[in-house]
Amino acid sequence: MFVCILLYLVSQAGKIHSRLNLKLLLQFPLIPTIVVGQNLDPYEITYCYKMNDELILLDCWASSYGMRVKIALAEKGLEYECREENFQEKSHLLLKSNPIHKTIPVLVHNGNPICESLNIVRYIDEFWPHKSPLLPSDPYKRSQNLFWADYIDKKIYSIGKRVWRGKGDEDQEIAKREFIECLKKLEDELGNKPYFGGENVGFVDVALVPFTSWFYTYEARGNFSIEAECPKLVSWANRCIRDNESVAKALPHPRKIYDFALNLLRPAQRQDELGHCPGHHII
């Protein structure tokens, strides 16, 4: 049981101590608080006021990039409001929050928009460091995590898109080989660890695992088997879903993704589907 809550306001004259009611305190979620209780560390103290922040996620359920943010928020135990975007008529909030790219996902935190999925995940990890750290504190290990997440961003989407949109032509065959090559490099980086983050889900896991919900679509459209080529990576993906509720709840069923992809490929929609999707962040 918390004994009391003390609000520390720092002025030029020094520190002023004021006892507040919890209900009143939560009306000011950005004011630092110190909670006097049993065995509380600084992260728990910070958590007490940051948990009351308003979080709105602008998203599309099939977006691998949006899934990243959902996993990160769940890992931190944060509640948020998810708003599905209509790609044919983007919301005023999306256009206002991301006027440069006009893409999802966007996380609006107490009225402040944060754009681009890896940037959002990093922001979440740094703003709520109390639980489930995603990036390591060691500078070198941190740099390696950021490198591989960037590799995933630059390779997996663009090559995977050529696979599932392909028509059985030479480019699709080339894309399939390039895709497997990328996955094998990631498999080598994973090594014998249960997760890229070590014993727990980390930044690289969050960056990559949403794309596994599209694996069935890649395989069905490209007529090949990812598991046959990269069994260790597929085992990792299954482990992420089986042992982590944050991942299991964020990833749609692969066949639902497949139906979504087929819908995008219908001839009536093909000519303008890129205009309907919020930038490249549809998957």
d(CA 178, CA 172): 10
User: How far, in Å, are 3, 110, 169 from residue 252 at the CA level?
Assistant: 43, 28, 29
Instruction: List, by residue range, all CATH 1.20.1050.10 domains of the chain.
Output: 139-272
Which are the contacts of 75, defined by CB distance < 8 A and separation ≥ 6?
A: 131, 132, 134, 201, 206, 246
Instruction: List, by residue range, all CATH 3.40.30.10 domains of the chain.
Output: 55-127
State the DSSP code for 17.
Answer: E
Q: Report the DSSP pairing between strands 14-19 and 4-11.
A: antiparallel
- Backbone torsions φ then ψ of 70, nearest 5 degrees: -60, -40
The DSSP string of 89-118 is S--HHHHHH-TTT--S-EEEETTEEEESHH
Q: Across residues 73-102, what is the average pLDDT?
A: 96
Q: Domain 55-127 is classified in which CATH homologous superfamily?
A: Glutaredoxin (3.40.30.10)
d(CA 23, CA 42): 21
User: How far, in Å, are 176, 194, 258 from residue 201 at the CA level?
Assistant: 27, 9, 26
Q: What is the distance of C-alpha 5 from the center of its chain?
A: 33
pTM, two decimal places? 0.80
What pLDDT, on the 0 to 100 scale, is given for residue 52? 73
CATH class given for the domain over 139-272 = mainly alpha
Compute the mean pLDDT over every residue in the chain, rounded to the nearest whole number.
83
**Does the structure show a pLDDT above 80 at 143?**
yes
- Rounded to 5°, the CA angle 197-51-198 comes to 5
Q: Across residues 73-95, what is the average pLDDT?
A: 95
State pLDDT tens for residues 179-212.
999 999 999 999 999 999 999 999 999 999 999 9
State pLDDT tens for residues 106-120.
999 999 999 999 999
Q: Which of 76-80, 165-169, 216-220, 249-253 has the lowest mean pLDDT?
A: 165-169
Reported as type and span, the H/E element at residue 235 is helix 231-243
What pLDDT, on the 0 to 100 scale, is given for residue 283? 55
| pLDDT band of 274, cuts 50, 70, 90 | very low
What pLDDT, on the 0 to 100 scale, is given for residue 266? 85
d(CA 5, CA 231): 52
The tokens for 139 are: 């500078």
Q: Across residues 237-258, what is the average pLDDT?
A: 98
d(CA 207, CA 34): 34
| pLDDT band of 279, cuts 50, 70, 90 | very low
Q: Across residues 5-18, what is the average pLDDT?
A: 35
The tokens for 202 are: 């980390």
Per DSSP, the three-state class of 50 is: helix
What pLDDT, on the 0 to 100 scale, is given for residue 267? 56
